[in-house]
Amino acid sequence: MVNPQAERPLVAVAHVVMNTDRMSESAQFMCTIGMRAIFDGPEVSVYEVRGGTHLILMASDQVAGGDAPFDLMVDDLHETHRRLTAMGLAPSPIEARPAIHHEVFTVREPAGHVITFHSSHASGKPI
């Protein structure tokens, strides 16, 4: 049995994948919102987020807009909203989501995916 009091969880989300028909613009967007570039390529690009998860952008001729296949969590949602607004990214207004104990807003990336940003809810233990 795994010790539930371990220093940090034993597993993490490794990769999430999102298609884009605007690789350069989507890649720049991911860096702008705070991801770390690991590899930039014409067909595949990789960006790192907190916890070591990698977003893999895959070039595609056909991209359906709509909800991104992932969402993001930030320590200071209001400051993030102000920063993205100042950058001209036009985030939606911040909304309370009491059922999940979060506040959220969304922003559309260049290929048309809508990314939801959540206020943080980490346990306070090492992650």
What CATH code is carried by the domain that includes residue 72? Answer: 3.10.180.10
What's the pLDDT at 3? 60
Question: Is residue 46 one of the residues assigned to a domain?
Answer: yes
The answer on pLDDT for 1 being more than 60 is no
Question: Is residue 127 one of the residues assigned to a domain?
Answer: no
Of 9-13, 35-39, 53-57, the poorest mean pLDDT is in 9-13
Overall number of domains in the chain: 1
- Residue 74 pairs in a beta bridge with 119
What's the pLDDT at 123? 73
Q: Which residues contact 29 (CB under 8 A, 6 or more apart)?
A: 89, 109, 110
Task: Please give the model's pTM, rounded to 2 decimal places.
Answer: 0.89
Question: Is residue 6 one of the residues assigned to a domain?
Answer: no
């597993």: which residue's tokens? 11
For residue 44, the enclosing domain spans 15-119
The answer on pLDDT for 14 being more than 80 is yes
Question: Is residue 47 one of the residues assigned to a domain?
Answer: yes
Q: What is the dihedral of CA 93, 94, 95, 99, to 10 degrees?
A: 150
